Each structure stands twice: as structure tokens, then as C-alpha cells.
């Protein structure tokens, strides 16, 4: 599999030096900003030389096509702020060489369809709001191959029973023979770098405005996954949570700092696990 794992990557990752300060140390309490505000948009972009790239999956479904034409499509949720601050969190908390994602145009981040050949170039794939997706048989076959070859797939920001069933309708095409299982508290991915508590629900900003941490009937956080035959976690499922919002709103005082700090720690664990397994 042609992942962009450059010479010495594994050794470098195993020697990552994680800083002692909490993620809150990088938090900037700023006035609320609009979606078009530009923060740190002049950061350098090294698309070809970095060890880790943020890759967002383009998918169709729920009446939306898969053309990149605006922010109204489910797969674009929280773009590009989520990946911008995700990358900043990983950079802040590790020595992993990341490609910066700029605001407001998302330069440095990748947006990929499963039918594109270069999906195999990246070991980490992210999808938002998969409670609205609909994979074709061709896409499902490619995703299955990608995962069995060593890829890691994180899904996020979908809530409740109905969206779970929509998500599973496509995942059953991908792995009709593999169960979705609960991620145990002892699972390696929860302890790769940080020791994380899977009972905490990371909410979206809209839910917090309503005085709750859940959406629809997704009252409890679900950390679930799909493993390969060797016990490697291939699919990390964050159901009834919105880590994308926690990253996206990292600089907004309306969003709780402790939730962004926790979402950053999950991000670091996920990236290190994906890049070393």
C-alpha cells in the first residue's frame, strides 16, 4: 500500500516527545468569528514533505451529490476549521511532522473520493456526518480494500438511532462479515499516548446552546470499531459525539476548553495509532 510513510517515520513516531503542558495552553479566547474569518492563514503549507496529512472523505447521499461546490453538503461539515485546528492540536502535542491546513480555503488538507487512486497514499481517512452518507458498491469495495491493506478510518459527528442505521447500511456493504464492536476501556487506542475516558460525551456547539450534550436520541457516547483478523482497529466510530466541533471551535469562548483539550488528545491517540499499526 502506497502510504506516504517516509524513511524513518516509524522510528520517529516511536520517539515522539509529547509536551507536558495541557492543550489548553494553546487556546486563544477570542470573540466569536464568522465562517469567513481567517486565522493563521499564512502558515506554511508543505503538501509533499510532511509525515501526516489530514484527508477528508467525499461521499454522496441524502440528496447531495459528491461535487465540491459549497458548504451545504454533509461531508463538508466543519470544513476547513476542523482540520485546521486538528492539525494544530497534533502539532502542539507531538513532534509529528504535519501538513498545515490553512484558513479560509483549506489549503494543505486533502478531500478525496474513494474512486480516486491517491486514496491509497494516505493511512488516515476522516468522514463527518456519516449518518447521511450512501456508498456505492464500488466505493464500499475500495474502502474494504483500503482498510484491509492497513488504512485507518475515523467517522464522527452523527447521532441517534436513525443516523446509525444509515451509517450501517453502507458499512454492511464494506464489511458484511465483520462485526461492529464496543471499544473497551482497556483498548490500546485509548492509551496509545493519553489515557482517555470513553464515558465522556464530546458535544457539538449547537447542543451546548440547548443546554445538553446530545443530539436526537443519542444520549450516551458510543465508541465503537471494526477490527481486522490480527486485532488491528481499522474503523474508529465516534457515535453520538462531535469531535469536529470541538476542533473547529478551539478558539471560541462559547465552546468549553476542556472538551477541545480532550478532543485534541483523542486526535493524537488516533493519529499515532494509525501511523504505527
Q: For 95-123, how does the pLDDT look when each residue is reduced to its tens digit (9 = 90+)? A: 999 999 999 899 999 999 999 989 999 99
- The pLDDT value recorded for residue 62 is 57
Q: For 227-264, how does the pLDDT look when each residue is reduced to its tens digit (9 = 90+)? A: 999 999 999 999 999 999 999 999 999 999 999 999 99
Q: Does position 9 have pLDDT exceeding 60, yes or no?
A: no
Model confidence at 10, pLDDT cuts 50, 70, 90, reads very low
Q: Does position 52 have pLDDT exceeding 90, yes or no?
A: yes
- The pLDDT value recorded for residue 72 is 52
Asked if omega into 248 is within 30° of 0 (cis), the reply is no
Cell numbers at 121, concatenated: 497514499
* DSSP label of 133: -
Model confidence at 48, pLDDT cuts 50, 70, 90, reads low
Residue by residue, what is the 3-state secondary structure of 24-87?
A: HHHCCCCCCCCCCCCCCCCCCCCCCCCCECCEEEECCECCECCCCCCCCCHHHCCCCHHHHHHH
- The pLDDT value recorded for residue 104 is 85
- The pLDDT value recorded for residue 11 is 39
- The pLDDT value recorded for residue 68 is 40
24 contact partners, CB below 8 Å, separation of at least 6: 257, 258, 260, 261
For residue 26, which of 273, 201, 272, 247 has the smallest C-alpha distance? 247
Strands 55-58 and 110-113: parallel
Q: Taking each helix axis as running N to C, give the angle between helix 81-93 and helix 257-276, from 0 to 180 degrees, rounded to the nearest 10.
A: 80
User: What is the percent of the chain where pLDDT is above 90?
Assistant: 75
CATH class of 9-15+40-276: alpha beta
Model confidence at 1, pLDDT cuts 50, 70, 90, reads low
Cell numbers at 244, concatenated: 469536529
Q: Does position 143 have pLDDT exceeding 80, yes or no?
A: yes
Q: How far apart are CA 65 and CA 212, in angstroms?
A: 32
133 contact partners, CB below 8 Å, separation of at least 6: 59, 60, 61, 62, 74, 75, 127, 166, 167, 170
Q: Domain extents for the chain?
A: 9-15+40-276
Q: What is the mean predicted confidence (pLDDT) over 155-178?
A: 97
91 contact partners, CB below 8 Å, separation of at least 6: 98, 100
Asked if omega into 71 is within 30° of 0 (cis), the reply is no
Model confidence at 67, pLDDT cuts 50, 70, 90, reads very low
Model confidence at 21, pLDDT cuts 50, 70, 90, reads very low
Pick 132 or 34 by higher pLDDT: 132
Q: Does position 169 have pLDDT exceeding 50, yes or no?
A: yes
* DSSP label of 183: P
Q: CA angle, 114 as apex, 108 and 118 as ends, to 5°?
A: 50
Amino acid at each position: 500500500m502506497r502510504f506516504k510513510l517516509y524513511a524513518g517515520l516509524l522510528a520517529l513516531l516511536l520517539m515522539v516527545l509529547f509536551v507536558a503542558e495541557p492543550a489548553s495552553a494553546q487556546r486563544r479566547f477570542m470573540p466569536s468569528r464568522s465562517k469567513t474569518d481567517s486565522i493563521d492563514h499564512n502558515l506554511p503549507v508543505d503538501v509533499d514533505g510532511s509525515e501526516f496529512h489530514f484527508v477528508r472523505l467525499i461521499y454522496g447521499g441524502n440528496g447531495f451529490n459528491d461535487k465540491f461546490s459549497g458548504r451545504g453538503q454533509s461531508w463538508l461539515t466543519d470544513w476547513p476549521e476542523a482540520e485546521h485546528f486538528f492539525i494544530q492540536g497534533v502539532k502542539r502535542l507531538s513532534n509529528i511532522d504535519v501538513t498545515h491546513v490553512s484558513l479560509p480555503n483549506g489549503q494543505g488538507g486533502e478531500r478525496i473520493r474513494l474512486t480516486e487512486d491517491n486514496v491509497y497514499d494516505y493511512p488516515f481517512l476522516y468522514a463527518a456526518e456519516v449518518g447521511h452518507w450512501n456508498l456505492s458498491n464500488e466505493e464500499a469495495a475500495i474502502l474494504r480494500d483500503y482498510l484491509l491493506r492497513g488504512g485507518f478510518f475515523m467517522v464522527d459527528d452523527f447521532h441517534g438511532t436513525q443516523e446509525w442505521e444509515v451509517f450501517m447500511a453502507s458499512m454492511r456493504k464494506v464489511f458484511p462479515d465483520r462485526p461492529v464492536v464496543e471499544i473497551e476501556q482497556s483498548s490500546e487506542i485509548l492509551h496509545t499516548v493519553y489515557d482517555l475516558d470513553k464515558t465522556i460525551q464530546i458535544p457539538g456547539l449547537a447542543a451546548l446552546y440547548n443546554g445538553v450534550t446530545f443530539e436526537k436520541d443519542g444520549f450516551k457516547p458510543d465508541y465503537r470499531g471494526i477490527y481486522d483478523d490480527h486485532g488491528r482497529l481499522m474503523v474508529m466510530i465516534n457515535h453520538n459525539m462531535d469531535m469536529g466541533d470541538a476542533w473547529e471551535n478551539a478558539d471560541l469562548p462559547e465552546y468549553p476548553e476542556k472538551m477541545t483539550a480532550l478532543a485534541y488528545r483523542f486526535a493524537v491517540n488516533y493519529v499515532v495509532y494509525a501511523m504505527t499499526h
